[in-house]
Amino acid sequence: MTGNNTADPATECPATECIEETLDVFHRGAFHLVQPALKGHRAGIDAMILASAVPDDFSGRLADLGSGAGAAGLAVAARCKMSKVVLVERSSLMVEFARKTIAHPLNSKLSARVEILEADVTLNGKPRNDAGLVDRSFDFAIMNPPFNEPKDRSTPDPLKAEAHVMPEGMFEQWLRTASAIIKPGGGVGIIARPTSLQQILAALAGRFGGLKILPVHPRSGSPAIRIVVTGTRGSRAALSMMPPLVLHFDEGHAFTPRAHAINNGQASLFTPFGLR
C-alpha cells in the first residue's frame, strides 16, 4: 500500500500505511507474507532454510526470535502441523506487518497457532521475563539475526540497517536469551554467515550441546555463504559436521532438488533427502 505523497508521514500515515507492501506466497500457497516492498528486510530462502532446521515431527512451542514479518515462524507452523509459534520482534513497524500477515484470510488455517510478541531479544533477567520471554517456556527457538558487520556496506534505510547490521555482542545476547527461554532438552537453530561461526560457538558453549553445523553453498564448487547451527539445551553430546546443502546446479539458477524441497516446505534440513 502506498501513502499519499503530499501527507506528512508522522501525522497522517498510521504505521505501515505509508509503506508500499507486497503479499508473497511461500510453500506453494501454504502461507502468505505481508512485507515491505522497498524498505526493511524482505524474507527469502534464508528464512526457509532456517525453518527447515526444525524437525518434521516438532509439536511444541517455538520462538522465532527477531521474526520480522514472520516468514521463518510461519514456515514452521505450515510444515509442523501441531506446533505453536510465537513471533518475537522489537520493531513496531515490522510487528505491524506480522499482524497483517497473521490476520490475512489466506493464513486463516495457521493463525490460531501463531501469536506475536513485541519484545527486545537482548533483554535479560526480570525485564526479559516481564516482556513475555519467560524462562523455560519454549521447546525450540530459531533465529536469523543481523549478519553484516558495522564496517560492512551501510544502508540509508534505518529499518534495513536494524535488520542487517549486527551490534557488538549480539550472538552472546541472543543466545543468552535462547538458553533462558528454552526448556532443558529443547533445541535452537541459527542461520548466519560462516564468518560468525566462532562467535556463535563461543555463545553456545556451556548452554547448548550436541551441536550440528551445516554449510550452505551456492554451488558445489563454491565456498559456503551461510551456516546453519543447531544445538540441544543442556546436552553434552559431541559436535557434528553435517553434509552441506547445495542450492543451485553448477550452471544456471535452478535450485537443486533438495534446495527446492526445503524452499517449499517439503523437507527438513537434517532428514536424509527423500526419506521424509
The grid coordinates listed for 109 are 488455517
Per-residue confidence (pLDDT) for residue 8, from 0 to 100: 36
Q: For position 166, which CATH number holds?
A: 3.40.50.150
**Stretch among 11-25, 83-97, 150-164 having the lowest mean pLDDT:** 150-164
Per-residue confidence (pLDDT) for residue 87, from 0 to 100: 99
In whole angstroms, give the CA distance from residue 117 to residue 265: 24
Residue type, 135: D
Contacts of 232 (CB under 8 A, 6+ apart): 185, 186, 187, 208, 209, 210
User: Does any domain span residue 214?
Assistant: yes
User: Does any domain span residue 15?
Assistant: no
- Rounded to whole angstroms, the maximal C-alpha distance in the chain is 60
User: Does any domain span residue 102?
Assistant: yes
User: Does any domain span residue 23?
Assistant: no
Neighbour count for residue 16 (Cβ, 10 Å): 21
In whole angstroms, give the CA distance from residue 47 to residue 51: 6
User: Does any domain span residue 36?
Assistant: no
Whether the per-residue pLDDT at 226 is higher than 70: the answer is yes
**Stretch among 17-31, 168-182, 209-223 having the lowest mean pLDDT:** 17-31
Containing structural domain, residue 216 = 43-264
In whole angstroms, give the CA distance from residue 119 to residue 117: 6
Contacts of 224 (CB under 8 A, 6+ apart): 194, 215, 216, 217, 244
How many structural domains does the chain have? 1
Element (H, E) at 262: helix 257-263
Nearest to 72 by CA among 244, 228, 257: 228
Give me the mean pLDDT over the 12-38 stretch: 83
Whether the per-residue pLDDT at 173 is higher than 90: the answer is yes
User: Does any domain span residue 145?
Assistant: yes
User: Does any domain span residue 274?
Assistant: no
Neighbour count for residue 248 (Cβ, 10 Å): 16
User: Does any domain span residue 273?
Assistant: no
